[in-house]
Amino acid sequence: MLNNKNLKVLIVDDDDEFLQDLRHHLQKEKYQVYTAASGKEALVTARKENPQLIILDINMPEMDGVEVCRHIRENPELSNTIVCFFTNCNENYTQIAAFEAGGDDYITKPLKPEVHLSRLRAILKRIDPDSHVPITIIGDITIDREKFLIIIKDEKIELPRKEFELLELLCSKPGRVFSRDEILNSIWNKDFTVIHRTIDVHISKLREKIGEKYIKTVKGIGYKFEG
């Protein structure tokens, strides 16, 4: 059973009437709600509050929603955050750009408030309210973020920071294929001195420590975690 008080929602929209209306409805359901009226403000608030869900408009001042989403996906601390676009833009190319930037859902305005809430409830059901606590359990792997430690079947394995961040990224969405470029952007923050071979080396080291069965290679694309 979800405890709404544990769930943080960030609404990002320069339409103040829409923003305040949706904020009101979500607060009535006991969610912790934060708002931002621009892309830059959204990134500051997201880094500070680490919300489980971000509701994001496309057309905004200073930085559009697609660019905001890219920045969010480059931040490992926000890897578990669900990004849902709420926007008037219904062009196919905009939706494609939103999903390619890492969006999880795309909802076209206008919708009645009760329909908005219904869609959001469905999205929020995907969220484990405790997903931002220091310890996460996925299958037989326990991840302890505070100690950079993983535990597999009672065996404790300490990992260097980059190997830990890489495993945590893959574990954030089991079954999802992460391209090498996504991994570089998330873990090495667009450091152009780092090459794809670096990822392969880290994957190889991880497999030596945790076993071969968890991290699968998708030829020509990247890697995925199967727990």
Same domain, 44 and 120: yes
Distance CA 207, CA 214 (A): 8
DSSP string, 161-202: HHHHHHHHHHHHSTTPPEEHHHHHHHHSTT-TT--HHHHHHH
* Percent over 70 (pLDDT), the chain: 85
Residue 159 is assigned to a structural domain of this protein: yes
Among 124, 158, 179, the domain boundary falls at 124
d(CA 40, CA 19) in angstroms, rounded, equals 16
Q: What are the C-alpha distances in Å from 216 to residues 137, 147, 205?
A: 19, 25, 14
Separation of alpha carbons 8 and 130, rounded Å: 11
As a whole number of angstroms, the distance between CA 21 and CA 18 comes to 5
Whole-prediction pTM value? 0.56
The residue out of 104, 124, 144 marking a domain boundary is: 124
Task: Clarify whether residues 120 and 20 are in a common domain.
Answer: yes
Counting every residue written for the chain, the total comes to: 227
List pLDDT tens digits, range 119-155.
777 677 656 544 444 567 777 888 887 777 888 877 8
Which strand (E) or helix (H) includes residue 217?
strand 215-218
Same-domain status, 120 and 48: yes
pLDDT per residue as tens digits for the range 68-118: 999 998 887 887 788 888 888 878 788 888 888 888 778 877 766 677 777
Question: 3: helix, coil or strand?
Answer: coil
Which of 89, 124, 159 is at the close of a domain?
A: 124
Containing structural domain, residue 169: 135-225
Q: How many alpha carbons lie under 13 Å from residue 42 in its C-beta half-sphere?
A: 31
Is residue 4 pLDDT above 70, yes or no? no
Do 183 and 71 belong together in one domain?
Answer: no
Instruction: Count Cβ atoms below 10 Å from residue 168 Cβ, excluding itself.
Output: 23
CATH of residue 89's domain is 3.40.50.2300
One domain, residues 99 and 192: no
Q: Identify whether residues 158 and 107 lie together within a single domain.
A: no
User: Does one domain contain both 115 and 139?
Assistant: no
Residue pair 137/168 in contact (Cβ under 8 Å)? The answer is: no
65 within 8 A of 59, measured Cβ to Cβ? yes
